[in-house]
Amino acid sequence: MRWLWSFGLMLACVVAPALADNNSLPSPSLPRDAFVNALLAKMTTEEKIGQLRLISVGPDNPKEAIREMIQRGQVGGIFNTVTRPDIRVMQDQAMQLSRLKIPLFFAYDIVHGQRTIFPISLGLASSWDLQAVATSGRIAAFEGSEDGLNMTWAPMVDITRDPRWGRVSEGLGEDTFLTQEIGRTLVSAIQGKHPGDRHSLMTSVKHFALYGAVEGGRDYNTVDMSPQKMFQDYLPPYKAALDAGSGGVMVALNSINGTPATVDRWLLQDVLRKAWHFTGITVSDHGAIKELIKHGVAADPEQAAKMAINAGINMSMSDEYFLKYLPGLIQRGEVSQATLDDAVRHVLNVKYDMGLFRDPYVHLGPAGSDPADTNAESRLHRAEARQVARESLVLLKNRLSTLPLKKQGTLAVIGPLADSKRDIMGSWSAAGRADQSVTLLEGIRHAVGDKAKVLYARGANITDHQDLIAYLNQYEQTVKVDPRTPQAMIDDAVRTARQADVVIAAVGEAQGMAHEASSRSDITIPESQRRLLRALKATGKPLVVVLLNGRPLALVRENQQADALLEAWFPGTEGGNAIADVLFGDHNPSGKLPMSFPRSVGQIPIYYNHLPTGRPYDPQKPEKYTSHYYDEANGPLFPFGYGLSYTHFTLSPVTLSATQLAPAGSLTATVTLTNDGDRDGATVVQLYLHDVTASISRPVATLQGFHKVFLKAGASQSVQFTVTPAMLRFYNQPMQQVTEPGEVDVMIGLDSARVNRARFTLQ
Ligand code: BGC
């Protein structure tokens, strides 16, 4: 009896610590690999599967259901919950109710600001100002981390060459180099020194890969692309963001050459892991695993789950398939334990990097420290938002120096976007609040004070197309409709315009027209607004058109009508003030277009760095059997890199430090930039290269450098670019990365269409 008792005691002594140990996390002071290995060894298969799930609170997942899932260890991360109190509830549940107490991470689409909304990404790209871009990223991370978040689904670095696609608004434009520079700047700014720091977020670069090349610009459509174009143009921005340290990658919804990215082993393993050595997590996009059935590559949900994890998806976003089917798949060996462990390891690694094991409340702080008012004005960063927004504005036309305007007389501010607080923030405006944003009308009123009289008329609805309004208002009532007839609104606007010295018309798109699931086959301004512009033009008053929109539009007619044309994109919380700064000359515009503006939709795809053809068209010497449209010009209305200033800049001819470039050498291309106008201002000097003869056709120009230069009126400055053979590397026909000897054109300009040239020989 006695021995039995002592054996029992012995057993209790051995088992009790082991059990306690098995129910708790390893010491967070262990190095990452040791920590994660020790944790993995404690986890059940169900708990491992739980870590692979990303869910959001919603009708399918009410809070109570989420609580139960957290308690059972069935959730790895939560997205779309954006306030500290709400996040804290869930982290408390994980820390108090789940067996292992593995902290959750919290993610959100912080694409261009969290509470303070910065210009949409396409606007940020228009700044060509990496400091401004970094400011926007740092503040987004600051505000996101202050709200308790750990990760953002950004930046989006999909190259976009088709303005029919609504998501061009979220991207950084058509050019690889510019996208790469801005993408890596955003990653570094958002992640800071370390993604686990108090005011950093981890980034998740998206959408891997090639989502911007959906056929016909139709969202979620197929992508079909040559390997050369893929590796030369479309993949480098993702690689640059990863090289900058992005901890996450969101996998695209589209298929690539027939294989949905979500199950593309070549993409997710050979390229991402083996060639690029990515060690962070891959996340499927919303519902992408389910969609494999509709893509026609999985017969049923179980096969979809199996294919996705075996291809290399680590976390599944908003699919319950991993939860339902992985247990059986693992039991039957159709998904190996090693594959499961590998996926879980990536999730635990990033949680470790986010600092969550050391402190699950790293971005939440102690209970009771939550802001008294989540939406407090004091939490915003207005000065920075205004400064960045000013840099993003692009002056497209300024006939007879219509702009800047004087703060005097009577100004008529007209248009459906002139006083829309929701639209000025743009889509994907995170936790930004419309009531905190400044409209153009408000910005103009602030700017002129009592120096001028400001009149306002709405003039038109965004569109008179009821179906479109219903579409835009399907999930949220964002488009407000004025019940007056279109003619009554125009009459009111014309009466208002007649009383004014100048008309400022704010027209374009509602923010929801340039968003996910917002592809257009017609990229003109909606007819209701075009009618308004015609009527305003007919008053004979000077007409300043301010465009608010999220994609290049076809603006041939507006360009003819307007005396001045300012592309404002969706400039964010401080948008109205920033636009007013430019309209009245308190800031001299310097933005440049990151996407070509076509004349008409029929020219799409249109991008500056196209390949030459065997039959180039020469408008000076038109010939029938050359590459052109007989009913439209070839070139865009406004080229890539274009944007005016209130001052005037000239560039000297290009001088080269050498006419021969050795394979391991470099040379310097120099121009002198002169501000020969009468105002101080900045412009962007752009370097393009063209490999004249190579084994495959090379683009007529590729951007390889830029400098944003500020010059006082009358001043000159020498601007230099270092040219290296690496800038001329390309994928040849058998897909080897090479540089080939031969002649190279160096082109330096203030946009991609008007450049000064020089030539050297690459040895
Ligand atoms: C979008 C992603 C986004 C995700 C989460 C998806 O529909 O494609 O860009 O990050 O939703 O909101």
Q: Is the pLDDT of residue 607 over 80?
A: yes
Atom 5 of ligand 1 has which residue's CA nearest to it?
A: 286
CB 425 within 8 A of CB 513: no
At residue 10 the predicted structure's pLDDT band, cuts being 50, 70 and 90, is very low
Q: Is the pLDDT of residue 9 over 70?
A: no
Q: DSSP string of 340-396?
A: HHHHHHHHHHHHHHTTTTT-TTTTT-STT-S-S-TT-GGG--HHHHHHHHHHH-EEE
Q: Is the pLDDT of residue 16 over 80?
A: no
At residue 21 the predicted structure's pLDDT band, cuts being 50, 70 and 90, is confident
pLDDT at res. 2: 42
Distance 210 CA to ligand 1 centre (A): 15
Dmax (CA) of the chain: 111
What global pTM score does this model have?
0.96
pLDDT at res. 22: 83
Q: Is the pLDDT of residue 3 over 50?
A: no
The burial of 420, by beta-carbon neighbours within 10 Å (0-12 exposed, 13-18 middle, 19 or more buried), is given as: buried
Q: Which two tokens stand for residue 509?
A: 């798109």
153 pocket-lining for ligand 1 (C-beta < 6 Å): yes
Distance 167 CA to ligand 1 centre (A): 11
Residues 83-96 as b or e (16 or more Cβ within 10 Å = b)? ebebbbebbebbee
Q: What type of residue is 723?
A: V
Closest CA to 408 of 500, 472, 330, 318: 500
pLDDT at res. 677: 97
Q: DSSP string of 276-338?
A: T---SEEEE-TTTTTHHHHHTS-SSHHHHHHHHHHHT--BEES-SHHHHHHHHHHHTTSS-HH
Cα–Cα separations (whole angstroms), residue 93 to 26, 48, 99, 236, 492: 19, 18, 11, 41, 57
Q: Active-site residue 285, yes or no?
A: yes
Q: Is the pLDDT of residue 25 over 60?
A: yes
- Residue 507: strand pairing partners: 547
At residue 60 the predicted structure's pLDDT band, cuts being 50, 70 and 90, is confident
Distance 283 CA to ligand 1 centre (A): 11
- Give the atom of ligand 1 at the shortest distance from the alpha carbon of 253: 8
CA–centroid distance for 375 within its chain: 24
Summarised one tens digit per residue, pLDDT across range 102-160 is 999 999 999 999 999 999 999 999 999 999 999 999 999 999 999 999 999 999 999 99
Cα(381)–Cα(389) distance, integer angstroms? 12
Cα(547)–Cα(567) distance, integer angstroms? 5
285 pocket-lining for ligand 1 (C-beta < 6 Å): yes
Choose one of 55, 153, 210, 427 to mutate for the ligand 1 pocket test, by most ligand atoms within 8 angstroms of C-beta. Answer: 153
Mean pLDDT of 239-263: 98
From the list 175, 233, 285, 563, the catalytic residue is 285
Summarised one tens digit per residue, pLDDT across range 699-732 is 999 999 999 999 999 999 999 999 999 999 999 9
Percent of the chain with pLDDT over 70: 97
Torsion of CA 20, 23, 26, 27, to 10 degrees: -60
What does DSSP say about strands 660-661 and 755-762: parallel, antiparallel, or unpaired?
Answer: parallel
Atom 7 of ligand 1 has which residue's CA nearest to it?
A: 286
Summarised one tens digit per residue, pLDDT across range 330-357 is 999 999 999 999 999 999 999 999 999 9
pLDDT at res. 4: 42
Q: Is the pLDDT of residue 5 over 80?
A: no
Q: Is the pLDDT of residue 13 over 80?
A: no
Mean pLDDT of 736-741: 98
In sequence order, the 6+-apart residues with CB closer than 8 A to the CB of 577 are 386, 389, 438, 442, 443, 446, 447
Summarised one tens digit per residue, pLDDT across range 567-589 is 999 999 999 999 999 999 999 99
pLDDT at res. 6: 44
Q: Which residue has 């999930």 as its token pair?
A: 475
pLDDT at res. 1: 40
Cα(304)–Cα(297) distance, integer angstroms? 8
Summarised one tens digit per residue, pLDDT across range 176-211 is 999 999 999 999 999 999 999 999 999 999 999 999
Distance 743 CA to ligand 1 centre (A): 45
- Give the atom of ligand 1 at the shortest distance from the alpha carbon of 80: 12
Summarised one tens digit per residue, pLDDT across range 641-675 is 999 999 999 999 999 999 999 999 999 999 999 99
Distance 110 CA to ligand 1 centre (A): 11
Cα–Cα separations (whole angstroms), residue 541 to 500, 558, 584: 8, 15, 18
Q: What type of residue is 390?
A: R
Summarised one tens digit per residue, pLDDT across range 316-333 is 999 999 999 999 999 999
Mean pLDDT of 477-491: 97
Distance 261 CA to ligand 1 centre (A): 15
What does DSSP say about strands 502-508 and 410-414: parallel, antiparallel, or unpaired?
Answer: parallel
Atom 2 of ligand 1 has which residue's CA nearest to it?
A: 285
Atom 10 of ligand 1 has which residue's CA nearest to it?
A: 153
Q: Is the pLDDT of residue 170 over 80?
A: yes
Q: Which domains does the chain have, with CATH numbers?
A: 36-102+258-266+277-357 (3.20.20.300), 385-603 (3.40.50.1700), 649-762 (2.60.40.10)
Distance 260 CA to ligand 1 centre (A): 16
Q: Is the pLDDT of residue 735 over 90?
A: yes
- Give the atom of ligand 1 at the shortest distance from the alpha carbon of 156: 9
286 pocket-lining for ligand 1 (C-beta < 6 Å): yes
Atom 6 of ligand 1 has which residue's CA nearest to it?
A: 286
Choose one of 285, 315, 318 to mutate for the ligand 1 pocket test, by most ligand atoms within 8 angstroms of C-beta. Answer: 285
